[in-house]
Amino acid sequence: MTVYNWFQDPEAMPVAEKGALDASHWDFTERGVILLRGEWEFYQGMLLTPADFSERPEELSRQRKYMAVPGDWKGIMSSGGRDGAGYGTYRLVVKIGKDDVFSLRGKKIRLSNHVYLGGDDSGGSGQPSDQAATYMPSNMPVFATAASKSGYMDILIQVASYNNLRGGLVQPPEFGLTEDVIARRDNSRLVDILLISTMLVFGLYYAGMAKRWRKEPYIMHFSIFCLAIGLFTLIDNEIVLGSFWPDFPFAWLQKLLIMLPFISFLSFSMYAYRYLGIRESRWFRGLRIFGVSYICLQAVLPNSFVSMLFYINIVLQAIIFCVVAGELLLGRRENRKGLIYIVLGGSYFVLAWIIGQIRYQFALDNPFSMLIAPLLLVFSQSFLMSDRFQQAFQKSEGQTKRLMAQNRQKDEFLAKTSRELHTPLNGIIHLSQSLLEDKKNPLLDPHRENIQLLHAVGRRLSTLVDDMMDFNRIKYGETHLKLAPVDVAMMVRFVLNSLAIVPINDRVEIRNELPNMLPFVMADENRLRQILYTLIENGLKYTAEGYVVIRAVAQEDVIVISIEDTGSGMPKAYIDRLFGTKLSQEERELYETDGFGLGVRLVKQLVELHGSELQAISAPGEGTVFSFTLNVAAPEMELQQLYESESAAAEEELFFMPLGKEGLESPFTILIVDDDGASLKMMIDVVQSLGYAHVAMRSSEEAVNWLSGSKRPDLAVIDLLMPVVSGLDLCSAIRGRYSLAELPVLMMTSLGHREDIIAALREGANDIIHKPFEPSVLKARIQSLLAMKKSSEQAVKREMDFLQAQITPHFLYNSMNALVGLSYKDTDKLRETIHHLTTYLRAKFTFVFKKKLIPLEHELELVRAYLEIEQLRFGSRLEVQYELQGHKNVWLPPLSLQPIVENAVRHGIGPKPEGGTIRISSATSDEGVRITVADNGVGIEKDDLERLRAGSLGGVGVASVNYRMKTIFGQPIVMRSELGIGTEMELLIPEGFDAESDAD
C-alpha cells in the first residue's frame, strides 16, 4: 500500500488541462499541497517573462504548445544533434478558491530554470539561455513564494538543457500554502539528513576501527559502503550539500550521482566476501578489477558521456549481484550465522537499490518509510560485526584468564622451589668451600678437582635460584639494588673512558670538574654507571658546540651530582611531560622518537630507586642541567676499615709466593688486582691450582707502585671497576711500559656492556672475562694468554738465533786471514775476494727480514760469493758444480739456499780430508721448481737425519729454513743422506709463487 501511495495520491488531486488547473474546490488548509501534473503550456525555443504575455498575447498564442508534466523532451526537440536538448518556457495558470500566500517547490527541473510566480521574479537554479555557451546547468531545488491575485496564480518556468541530460519538468512541482510547502520540504530534508548522518557516522566509525584492526579488511569495505551511501544522499533529492556549499561544481555533482551507487554496490560485495572468508572466484575477481577501472574511467570522461553510462552501471550492478548471490547461496559456509546476516543485509541493500532506481527514474520524493531498508541494512551488519568482536573479546578474555591462572601457578611453583632449594645449595657451597680452604687436611689432587667441580655446580645452581627469585620480585614491582660504597670520581673516569669509543663532535668539550677529595657514596655500582653514562651521552648528543661538564658537591651527608651541557635545551612543558607519571601515546610519538625521553625517564626511575630525585633545569637554546643526590657511604677511615675487614681468611693469602706447589721454581708469575676479597681469594686458588706464583693486591695504586720497580709478572689479571684508580687506568699504565706480548692483561668485569668491553680493549687488554665466572673458564683464559706470550717469545728468540747464526765469527776470522794472505801474493785476487765478501755481507744484512720472498738470482748471487770465499780457503779440496736451467721468475724466502750450502761445506765436505764436490741444480716438474744441493761428503747417520728433519739437531740454519718452507709453501725440505756417500737437500717451490708473490 505504501508503494501504491508513493505513486498515486488517494486524494484525487486536480490535473492540469491545456495550461490551466482548477483548484478552486481544493481545500489547501485541510488537504495540503497539490502536485502540478497534467498539460502545461509550452513555448519551444522561447525564454518568456510575464511582460511578454502582457505585451504580445496574440503572437504567443500562435506559438503555444502543450507539454505533459512530468516528462522530458525526448523526441520533441533537439539541439546540436542531442535528442531532448534545447530551451523553452512552461506556463500554468492555477485557479484558486480564495486568495492567500502560496509557494511553489520544484525539483528535477532539468537542467536549469528561472521561475516567475504570480508575476514576481522568484529566481531559479542555474542559468537558462538560448545558447549552449552561456547556459549554466544546476540541479538544485527551487522555492518560490507569492500572493495570489483575483483567485488566480500564474506560474512561468524557463527551462534549458543542452549537453547533460534531456530537459523538461521530470518531477511535478508542488504547490500550496507556504507553511505546507515548507513543511514538506523540511520533512524531505529531514529524511535525507537522517540517512546522511547515519551513513557517514557509521562510515567514519568503521574507518577508525579499520585503522586499528588492520587484520580485518572487511571493516574498511563496509566503511566505504556506508560513506558512499551517505555521500550519495548528500547530493541527491534535496541536495543538502548545496545548503553549505552552493558553489560545488555541477560537473562533479553529476559524476558522483552516477559513480557512488556503483561504488557502494562493489564495496558491499567485497565486504561480504571478506567477512565470510570466501575465496574470490575468477569471475568475481575479473568483475572487481573491471569495476574499479570502470569507476576511474567515469571520473575522467566528459560529462556529456557520463549520462550514457547510467544503464551500463545498472547492468554491471546486476551482474555483480548475481555472482555474489550465487557464491553466498550455493557455497557451503561454516559461518552460518554470518551468512544469514549477510544475506539479510544484501536483501535490504537490493530493496534500497530498487527504491533508489525507481525514485530516480520517476523523480519521486523520499517518504519516511523508505528509511527503513538502508537503516536495517546498516544496523544488521553492525550487530553482526559487534557479535564477531564480542566473540573475539570473549575468546581473548578466556585465554587471558587461563594464562593468568597458569602464570600464578608457575610463580607459586618457582617461589616454593626456590625457597626449598636455597638452603641446601648454600650448605653445599659452604661445605665445599671449607674443604677447599682446609690447610691442615689438604685434599688429594683428584679429590680437590671433584670438590672444585661440586663447588662450581653449587654456585651455578645458587645463581640460577637467585635469578628466579629476583624475577619474581621484579614482576611484582620490586627491584633489587646492590648498594655498596662507590667512588664517584673513579666511576666518572670509567664512564668517560667508555664514552671514548663513541664518535664525539670536535666542537664539544667534556669537562670533569669533580673535586680531588670526594667521599664515597652508597649506590648500586652498575646502576650508577648507567645513570652517568646516559646523562653524559645525552648531553653530547644534543650539544652541537660548547661543553658537557660533570660536577659534584658534598653537602652534609649527601653528594649532589650534576651534568650540565650547552645544547639545544628543552621547553618547560616538555620537562613536565617527561617527568610526569605517564605519557600518552601521542606524547610518546612526539617526544620519544629519538629515544631521549625514554632514556631520561629510565634514569629518573633508577635515581628514585636510590632514594633521590632527578631534577632538570632547561630552556630552549640555553642548555640543560640534570642533577641528583646520593647518600655518603661513610668517613674515609671507616670505609678503609670496612674494606680491611671483609674476609680475614682471604687476607692470609695476600702475599707474594715465589715458589710453586712442589717447591720448584714456578714457570710463571701472575699479578692479581681486585678490591673484592672473595673474588681475589677465588682467583688465588685458581692460580695456585695451576702451579703458578702470584702477586695479589687490593688496589690499582699498589699495583702501579709495584710495577714501577724491576719486577715484571708474566700475566696481569685486573678487575675493571676499582675505587680511586680503575682497572682501565692500571691497564693504560701497563701498556705505557709493556707491549701486548710482553705482559698480557686479562680484564674482569661484572658489567658486560659493549662500551665497557671496547674501552678495555682500546686501553690494551688482551682478553675479558665476565663475573661471576667458572674457575675452569678462568684457568683456560690464563693458560691461553700465557701460551701466547711464550709462543711470541719463542718466535722472537728463533729469529734472533737465526740472525746470529748467519754470520759466524769463525767464518769472518778465516775470511780475514785469507785476505791478509792474498795481500802479499795476488792483489787482483784480493780485490775479487773483497768484492765477494762485500756481496756476502750485504746480502746477509739486507735480505734478512726485509722481504718475504726474493728472486732466485739474488739468492744464487749470495751462494756464489760464499763459495768463492770458501774455495779460497779450501783450495782444490772444494769443487762446485752448477746445473741451473735459468729460472728467472722463481721466488723463494731470503737466506734459504745459502744456509743449506754452508751446511754442506762445513759438515759434509769439511770433515773429509780429500775434500769433495757440491752440486747445485734446479729442474722443473709438475709440482713446481725443485732446487737441489748435493754433496759427496761424509753423510749423516739415520737417527741424526730424523732428528734434523724434526728440527731437534744441529744449529738454527737448516731448522729455520725448514720452518719457513713449511710455513710459506707447506713443503718441508726433502733430506736424503747415507754415511760415506753424501747428502742431498731438495727445496720445492710450488707453481704460482712468482714475481707477484713479493710481500714487500
| pLDDT 10s digits, 685-737 | 888 888 888 888 888 888 888 887 767 788 899 887 777 777 888 888 888 77
Q: What is the pLDDT of residues 55-103, one digit of tens each?
A: 998 889 899 999 999 988 988 888 877 888 999 999 999 999 888 999 9
What's the pLDDT at 741? 76
Give the separation between CA 779 and CA 689, rounded to whole angstroms. Answer: 9
For 659, which DSSP code?
A: B
- Model confidence band, residue 49 (pLDDT cutoffs 50, 70, 90): very high
Nine-digit cell string for 738: 709493556
Give the separation between CA 508 and CA 500, rounded to whole angstroms. Answer: 13
Q: Residue 353's closest CA among 386, 317, 381, 325?
A: 317
Q: Sign of the C-alpha dihedral, residues 8, 9, 13, 19?
A: negative
Q: Residue 22's closest CA among 11, 13, 32?
A: 13
Q: Residue 772's closest CA among 837, 832, 682, 701?
A: 682
- Model confidence band, residue 838 (pLDDT cutoffs 50, 70, 90): low
Nine-digit cell string for 913: 780430508
Cβ-based neighbours of 333, under 8 Å, separated by 6 or more: 276, 278, 339
Q: Sign of the C-alpha dihedral, residues 681, 686, 689, 691?
A: negative
Give the separation between CA 490 and CA 675, rounded to whole angstroms. Answer: 13
Q: What angle do CA 360, 361, 365 make, to 5 degrees?
A: 45
pLDDT of 820 strictly over 70: no
Give the separation between CA 184 and CA 105, rounded to whole angstroms. Answer: 9
Query: Which residues partner with 177 through β-bridges?
Result: 102
Cβ-based neighbours of 159, under 8 Å, separated by 6 or more: 87, 88, 89, 90, 109, 110, 112, 113, 128, 167, 168, 169
Q: Residue 23's closest CA among 79, 90, 102?
A: 102
- Model confidence band, residue 143 (pLDDT cutoffs 50, 70, 90): very high
Q: What would the mean pLDDT of 917-932 be, rounded to a whole number? A: 86
Place of cell 674443604: 435
Q: How many CA atoms lie within 13 A of 196 on its CB side?
A: 17
Give the separation between CA 580 and CA 603, rounded to whole angstroms. Answer: 14
Over the chain, what is the mean pLDDT? 76
What's the pLDDT at 154? 94
Q: Sign of the C-alpha dihedral, residues 837, 843, 844, 846?
A: positive
List of E strands, 581-697: 615-618, 624-631, 669-673, 693-697
Q: For the residues of 166-185, what is the DSSP string, one character each?
A: --EE-SPPEEEEHHHHHHHH
Query: Which residues partner with 152 through β-bridges?
Result: 95, 149
What's the pLDDT at 229? 85
Give the separation between CA 770 and CA 466, rounded to whole angstroms. Answer: 18
Residues 758 and 733: beta-carbon distance below 8 Å = no
Question: Phi and psi of 542, rounded to 5°?
Answer: -105, 20
Give the separation between CA 406 and CA 417, rounded to whole angstroms. Answer: 16
Q: Which amino acid is at 359?
A: R
Q: What is the pLDDT of residues 189-222, one digit of tens each?
A: 888 888 888 888 888 888 888 777 777 787 888 8
SS (H, E, C) 528-539: HHHHHHHHHHHH
Nine-digit cell string for 98: 480564495
Cβ-based neighbours of 419, under 8 Å, separated by 6 or more: none
- pLDDT above 90 coverage of the chain, percent: 12
What's the pLDDT at 882? 86
Give the separation between CA 792 and CA 785, rounded to whole angstroms. Answer: 11
Give the separation between CA 445 and CA 451, rounded to whole angstroms. Answer: 10
Q: What is the pLDDT of residues 597-629, one digit of tens each?
A: 556 776 787 788 888 888 888 888 888 899 998
SS (H, E, C) 553-571: EEECCEEEEEEEECCCCCC
Angle, in degrees to the nearest 10, between helices 596-609 and 525-541: 150
For 908, which DSSP code?
A: I
36-45, 353-362, 730-739: least confident range: 353-362
Q: To which H or E segment does residue 839 belong?
A: helix 827-847
Q: How many CA atoms lie within 13 A of 765 on its CB side?
A: 23
- Three-class secondary structure of residue 337 per DSSP: helix
What's the pLDDT at 600? 76
Residues 949 and 987: beta-carbon distance below 8 Å = no
Residues 958 and 899: beta-carbon distance below 8 Å = yes
What's the pLDDT at 581? 44
Q: Which residue has the higher pLDDT, 558 or 595?
A: 558
Give the separation between CA 303 and CA 189, rounded to whole angstroms. Answer: 27
Place of cell 543542452: 162
- pTM reported for the whole predicted model: 0.45
Q: Tell how strand 715-719 and strand 745-749 pair up.
A: parallel
Residues 500 and 755: beta-carbon distance below 8 Å = no
Q: What would the mean pLDDT of 221-240 be, rounded to a whole number? A: 85
- 736 CB neighbour count, 10 Å cutoff: 9
What's the pLDDT at 50? 93
Alpha carbon 668 to its chain's center: 49
Q: What is the pLDDT of residues 643-672, one digit of tens each?
A: 444 443 334 333 333 333 333 457 888 899
Residues 456 and 774: beta-carbon distance below 8 Å = yes
Give the separation between CA 926 and CA 706, rounded to whole angstroms. Answer: 62
Q: Which amino acid is at 933?
A: V
Place of cell 673512558: 497
- 355 CB neighbour count, 10 Å cutoff: 19
Query: Which residues partner with 158 through β-bridges?
Result: 89, 114
Burial state string for 502-512 with b = 16 or more CB within 10 A and e = fewer than 16: eebeeebebee
Q: What would the mean pLDDT of 811-819 be, rounded to a whole number? A: 57
- Model confidence band, residue 11 (pLDDT cutoffs 50, 70, 90): low
- pLDDT above 70 coverage of the chain, percent: 74
Q: What would the mean pLDDT of 823-848 be, rounded to a whole number? A: 58
